[in-house]
């Protein structure tokens, strides 16, 4: 249990929260008043700092709140292909979010679209709406139909809220009478290259911990999260450990967006930031802060940037600092007010292996309802159904899929049948690769019972189907997207016949299950693809209780940034904060025995990697780099793990020692020199610029997919992967399955074992027959 008490931390004025009005004009007035209070607080803090450091200076003019320009295409907003609108009346929508601490000052939509040349202009149009407010109705002359057109729509910023939705409604007619409502000539497309341009002004938030994680992380913001961490000069290992807990919390929240945590020593970045300090070690701008007596969390205005906030994590010593950070990361603090102190903290039980909330468990079948945030995500509706249900899944990367037929998916789906639904289908794909198609049936077929797979469980005219599906095992990886595409045509009564429009429904039943219980965990290591995509082997235990992270004895800000970014990415994979890892210096490396080790080092300044050089596939030092001789190239293991030819790793023999000044970063994997069966991943670079390549690369999905084998070299935008050292295996298989698996990759040895087994059986049978013959002869003699 966590006991919290509100307390004033420092004598900084802060704005008072106001109730939000439903009237935009009143809300804007309050925001302006709150902004004035925020600027006054910033000026007062700056004035106090100046008075403390020297004579009074001239009055400081009010600083304007920062603004930014955001230009984003529909493709960037998640629209993978142009929006296709078909039929007499159809629509599509796109979501756009605005950060909680920003307001829209001006907006423009540069819309590119094409209307069918068969339309009647006076009866056809494209309506553009924002949050159900009509922005403009687009009508074109007959001569311009069929050609791509671009229009610019100025949007009243008052229409924008936190979560916004643009809707494009197409009304089309090709004949004055006797028209088919779903004729092939009734179409319009909206290009996904259409752009939205927003002018955003930052607005101040109140100094209230109840708003966390805002403004440091805002789920409305789909951009990668960049949150600086601020320390005093040369932060201690304990301080850095506490910062890792907070980075894991932000990384867990950021998820797919990615995260990057620049590190600053004794200086403030000009944006939101997290500041960690103890009484004996704090940045100079906090020297006037009263000493902390307990673990403390506080939020204050940025002294130099209006509207920006600083999250202070304070403690009397490193132990108290760690408690404050863990309370924040574990969500154990009922936060409110400007400042709270943590009286006590009860940690959760140790996490179990493969118990990550975002991984599909292998202990039981998992319902698809558990993989979505709402059952509505499994449903589709419309007069014409040609849409897809997408389900995102993440699986442990060490699932042993060798010789497996697939992953069972017990699928139940429902849809509204009509007279022509037997022309429809349910197409199932995974990661955009087609798996199987199920034909749908019409109402008449269901009524006469021509199909044994139709289960009339509902009285509302819907049909239900159940199917056992095998997902091909070779498509299973860290991240997967299951795609269920329903195609149900509308009723077609023939020429010049019409029927009232019928809304069609389709759904994947939430009780459908995916079953991984038949799979064990066994993987050839080192495997940098498993690390890049899922943080494996460290994320095997989601709280990283079996992980040691080794930093240089005197880590640079670049080292700390890579450390924080790596921890954040691992929590993004598991969905669980990493609070139990060991953080060690290079001099304490021997304490990492019996754990998996993540080494972060710029130029191997402490000689740790040089000490382990015999295990390393490559070694980067300041201005130098060497690659060990190739001892084992990728051979049968490529086919064994179903790597396509274009995925095969580069390999070259020999040894090279090169000297140069160009930036080069490396991700290497090898078996731990301290404990057999444990793994080491080293993130190294020749200099600080190259270390930034690692931070960027860990968040770049395009680069990550090229990281494989046991050595990945990063040079600018390129990643080259190699297999240098022999593999070893981690996991657990029955002895007979392990024996057969390893023999299967050595056909000559398998043949010899087969011959030997045959000879042994022949000898046993021969001996048994001889024994039986002797007994018969003995009995006959008697």
pLDDT mean over 165-186 = 85
Segment 534-573, tens digit of pLDDT: 999 999 999 999 999 999 999 999 999 999 999 999 999 9
pLDDT mean over 596-619 = 85
Segment 670-687, tens digit of pLDDT: 999 999 999 999 999 888
Given a cut of 60, is residue 474 above it in pLDDT? no
- Distance between CA atoms of residues 773 and 782, nearest Å: 14
In this structure, is residue 455 part of a structural domain?
Answer: yes
Are 110 and 215 contained in the same domain? Answer: no
Are 457 and 569 contained in the same domain? Answer: no
pLDDT mean over 116-145 = 90
Are 334 and 418 contained in the same domain? Answer: no
Given a cut of 90, is residue 199 above it in pLDDT? yes
- What total of structural domains would you count in the chain? 5
- Distance between CA atoms of residues 345 and 330, nearest Å: 10
Q: What is the pLDDT of residue 599?
A: 96
- Distance between CA atoms of residues 752 and 258, nearest Å: 51
Are 76 and 181 contained in the same domain? Answer: yes
Supply the range of the domain harboring residue 317.
205-342
Q: What is the pLDDT of residue 267?
A: 92
- Distance between CA atoms of residues 254 and 358, nearest Å: 13
Q: What is the pLDDT of residue 321?
A: 96
Are 243 and 301 contained in the same domain? Answer: yes
Residue whose C-alpha is closest to residue 123's, from 203, 194, 179, 50: 179
pLDDT mean over 488-517 = 74
Q: What is the pLDDT of residue 768?
A: 86
Given a cut of 50, is residue 575 above it in pLDDT? yes
Q: What is the pLDDT of residue 180?
A: 76
Banded pLDDT at 724 (limits 50, 70, 90):
confident
Are 551 and 658 contained in the same domain? Answer: yes
Mean pLDDT of the chain: 79
Q: What is the pLDDT of residue 498?
A: 53
Are 707 and 564 contained in the same domain? Answer: yes
Segment 519-529, tens digit of pLDDT: 889 988 988 98
Segment 383-426, tens digit of pLDDT: 767 788 999 888 888 888 877 777 888 888 888 877 666 678 88
Among 183-192, 453-462, 494-503, 620-629, name the most confident range. 183-192
Are 147 and 116 contained in the same domain? Answer: yes
In this structure, is residue 375 part of a structural domain?
Answer: yes
Q: Look up the pTM and report it.
A: 0.80
Segment 700-713, tens digit of pLDDT: 877 887 888 888 88
Banded pLDDT at 627 (limits 50, 70, 90):
low
- Sequence-distant (6+) residues with CB within 8 A of 449 are none
Q: What is the pLDDT of residue 316?
A: 95
Given a cut of 90, is residue 276 above it in pLDDT? yes
Are 137 and 117 contained in the same domain? Answer: yes
Among 337-341, 495-499, 651-655, name the most confident range. 337-341
Higher pLDDT, 312 or 10: 312
Q: Cα dist. 437→217, 456, 506, 512, 668 in Å?
A: 41, 21, 15, 17, 42
Are 399 and 267 contained in the same domain? Answer: no
- Distance between CA atoms of residues 210 and 128, nearest Å: 37
Q: What is the pLDDT of residue 681?
A: 95
Given a cut of 80, is residue 29 above it in pLDDT? no
Quick check: helix, strand or coil at residue 22? coil
Q: What is the pLDDT of residue 782?
A: 62
Q: Which of 182, 202, 222 is the last residue of a domain?
A: 202
Do residues 676 and 626 lie in contact, with contact meaning Cβ atoms separated by under 8 Å? no
Among 37-46, 449-458, 561-570, name the most confident range. 561-570
In this structure, is residue 40 part of a structural domain?
Answer: no
Higher pLDDT, 121 or 616: 121
Q: Which of 181, 202, 223 is the last residue of a domain?
A: 202
- Distance between CA atoms of residues 429 and 481, nearest Å: 8
């Amino acid at each position: 249990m966590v006991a919290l008490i509100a307390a004033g931390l420092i004598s900084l004025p802060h704005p008072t929260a106001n109730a939000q009005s439903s009237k935009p004009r009143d809300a804007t007035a309050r925001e302006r008043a709150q902004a004035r209070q925020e600027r006054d607080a910033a000026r007062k803090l700056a004035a106090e700092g100046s008075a403390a450091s020297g004579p009074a200076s001239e009055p400081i003019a009010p600083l304007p709140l920062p603004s930014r320009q955001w230009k984003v295409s529909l493709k960037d907003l998640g629209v993978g292909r142009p929006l296709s609108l078909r039929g007499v009346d159809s629509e599509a929508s796109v979501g756009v979010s605005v950060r909680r601490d920003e307001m829209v000052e001006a907006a423009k939509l540069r819309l590119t679209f094409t209307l069918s040349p068969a339309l009647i202009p006076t009866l056809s149009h494209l309506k553009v709406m924002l949050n159900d407010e009509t922005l403009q109705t687009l009508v074109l002359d007959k001569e311009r139909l069929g050609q791509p057109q671009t229009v610019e729509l100025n949007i009243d910023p008052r229409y924008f809220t936190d979560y916004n939705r643009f809707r494009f409604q197409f009304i089309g007619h090709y004949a004055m009478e006797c028209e088919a409502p779903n004729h092939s000539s009734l179409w319009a497309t909206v290009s996904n290259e259409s752009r939205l341009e927003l002018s955003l002004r930052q607005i101040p938030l109140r100094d209230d911990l109840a708003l966390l994680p805002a403004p440091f992380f805002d789920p409305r913001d789909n951009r990668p999260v960049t949150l600086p961490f601020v320390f005093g000069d040369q932060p201690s290992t304990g301080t850095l450990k506490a910062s890792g807990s907070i980075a894991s919390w932000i990384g867990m929240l950021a998820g797919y967006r990615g995260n990057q945590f620049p590190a600053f020593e004794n200086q403030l970045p000009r944006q939101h930031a997290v500041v960690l300090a103890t009484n004996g070690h704090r940045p100079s701008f906090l020297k006037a802060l009263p000493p902390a007596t307990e673990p403390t969390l506080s939020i204050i205005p940025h002294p130099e940037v209006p509207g920006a906030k600083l999250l202070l994590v304070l403690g009397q010593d490193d132990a108290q600092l760690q408690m404050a950070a863990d309370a924040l990361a574990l969500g154990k603090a009922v936060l409110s007010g400007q400042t709270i102190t943590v009286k006590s903290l009860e940690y959760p039980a140790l996490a179990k292996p493969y118990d990550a909330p975002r991984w599909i468990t292998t202990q039981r079948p998992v319902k698809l309802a558990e993989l979505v945030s709402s059952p509505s995500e499994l449903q589709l509706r419309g007069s014409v159904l040609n849409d897809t249900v997408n389900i995102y899944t993440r699986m442990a990367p060490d699932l042993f899929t060798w010789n497996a037929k697939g992953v069972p998916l017990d699928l139940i789906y429902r849809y509204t049948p009509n007279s022509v639904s037997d022309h429809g289908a349910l197409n199932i794909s995974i990661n955009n690769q087609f798996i199987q198609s199920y034909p749908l049936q019409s109402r008449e077929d269901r009524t006469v019972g021509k199909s044994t797979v139709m289960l009339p469980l509902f009285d509302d005219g819907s049909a239900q189907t159940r199917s056992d599906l095998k997902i091909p095992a070779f498509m299973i990886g860290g991240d997967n997207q299951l795609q269920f595409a329903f195609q149900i045509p509308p009723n077609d009564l023939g020429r010049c016949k019409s029927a009232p429009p019928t809304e069609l429904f389709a759904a994947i039943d939430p009780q459908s299950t995916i079953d991984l219980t038949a799979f064990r965990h066994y993987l050839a290591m080192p495997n940098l693809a498993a690390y890049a995509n899922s943080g494996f082997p460290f994320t095997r235990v989601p709280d990283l209780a079996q992980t040691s992270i080794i930093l240089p004895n005197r880590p640079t800000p670049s080292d700390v940034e890579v450390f924080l970014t790596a921890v954040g990415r691992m929590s993004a994979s598991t969905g669980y904060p990493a609070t139990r890892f060991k953080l060690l210096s290079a001099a304490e490396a021997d304490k990492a025995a019996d754990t998996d080790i993540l080494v972060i080092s710029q130029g191997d300044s402490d000689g740790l990697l040089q000490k382990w050089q015999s295990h390393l596939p490559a070694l980067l030092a300041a201005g130098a780099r060497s690659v060990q001789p190739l001892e084992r190239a990728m051979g049968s293991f490529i086919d064994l793990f179903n790597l396509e030819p274009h995925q095969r790793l580069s390999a070259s023999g020999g040894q090279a020692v090169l000297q140069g000044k160009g930036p080069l970063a490396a991700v290497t994997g090898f078996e731990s020199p301290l404990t057999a069966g444990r793994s080491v991943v080293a993130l190294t670079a020749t200099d600080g610029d190259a270390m930034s390549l690692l931070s960027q690369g860990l968040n770049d999905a395009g680069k990550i997919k090229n990281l494989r084998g046991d050595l990945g070299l990063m040079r600018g935008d390129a990643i080259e992967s190699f297999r240098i050292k022999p593999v070893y295996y981690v996991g657990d298989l029955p002895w007979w399955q392990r024996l057969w698996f390893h023999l299967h990759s050595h056909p000559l040895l398998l043949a010899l074992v087969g011959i030997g087994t045959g000879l042994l059986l022949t000898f046993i049978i021969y001996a048994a027959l001889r024994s039986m013959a002797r007994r018969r002869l003995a009995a006959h003699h008697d």
